[in-house]
Amino acid sequence: MHHAFAELWARGWTAMVLAALGTFQVVRPGFFYTCSVYFDRARKKLSPAQSERLQRVLDARSDAEGVSPNAERYAGIVGIAMAGLELVPAIPFGVPYAIYCLAGALTILSSYVQIRRATQRRAAPLVPRSPFDALPPAMIAALAACFSGVALFAIYPPYRAGAIGVGAAMLILAWIAWRIAGSQAVLFGDDPQLEYAVDERLRANRVSGTVALACAPAVVLVGTTAVWIPSAYQSLGAVAMLLTYVAFGVAMFVNLMARRGADRLLSRTNG
């Protein structure tokens, strides 16, 4: 009885999460890769002239990237549909969530490919940039720990399909983060100093945000189910939960520090 109730609660909670995330993506597509979203806080510290200067650079960058919001809307629709499937007992728990994670990862991948194609001709081969400048070891370790937690869950047969799907989504996002971290600067030549500062901020925030986004599905999958798996797998669930929770905390902390560091870089450029 306790197991049945716990599974029902987990399915209901996961369905609400999927519905909420899907609705957000349909209503506000492009939130993650839109250039201006990373500069809202920094803009408040700028003078009107500095803010106007920044806006010109952001407009040029957004026009060059040309990210379409349609793919994210489709992912949101998938999320809403998966919310309904999560409530169907015949469907293994975690599978609808894994499908949504894969759809989200493919959406981010399509945005990255679109940005790369649109801006490749603007890339400036300046001083070579190491991926580790934007992707610190702590982020790599956090992602590896979260992936290990999901891999441990794949040992438990009822959750194997869901864990494999979530793991695949994490690997796609990890590859995207690595590619962004090693990308060349994109400059247009109108305001090179500020354009480079904007590029550095976008690179740092998109990398850290992508890694944090890759870690999040592991926390949801493991945290929702680890407490009610059979006793024979309780130790496995405890280790998976410890790995994912600690790693996600590290990823979010580094993500926050990356945002603050980028703010300081931008303020120095505008000073």
Task: Quote the tokens at residue 57.
Answer: 């650079």
Average pLDDT for residues 161-182, to the nearest whole number?
92
Task: Quote the tokens at residue 247.
Answer: 């790693």
Question: HSE of 56 in the Cβ direction (CA atoms, 13 Å)?
Answer: 11
* Predicted confidence (pLDDT) at residue 243 exceeds the cutoff of 80: yes
What pLDDT does 265 receive?
Answer: 54
Q: How confident is the model at residue 127 (pLDDT cuts 50, 70, 90)?
A: low
Average pLDDT for residues 85-95, to the nearest whole number?
87
What pLDDT does 4 receive?
Answer: 65
What pLDDT does 28 receive?
Answer: 80
Which range of 44-53, 156-165, 172-181, 190-199 scores highest in mean pLDDT? It is 172-181
How many domains are contained in the chain?
Answer: 1
Average pLDDT for residues 29-41, to the nearest whole number?
70
The angle, 0 to 180 degrees and rounded to 10, between the axes of the packed helices 2-27 and 192-225 is 160
Q: What is the DSSP letter of 34?
A: -
From start to end of the chain, where are the E strands?
A: 123-124, 185-186
Mean pLDDT of the chain: 82
Average pLDDT for residues 136-165, to the nearest whole number?
88
Q: Which residues pair with 185 in a beta bridge?
A: 124
Of the chain, the percentage scoring pLDDT greater than 90 comes to 23
Residue 185 sits at φ, ψ, to 5 deg, of -70, 145
pTM: 0.85
Domain that holds residue 63: 2-270
Q: How confident is the model at residue 164 (pLDDT cuts 50, 70, 90)?
A: very high
Q: In 3D, which of 29, 185, 15 has the Cα closest to residue 88?
A: 15
What pLDDT does 1 receive?
Answer: 44
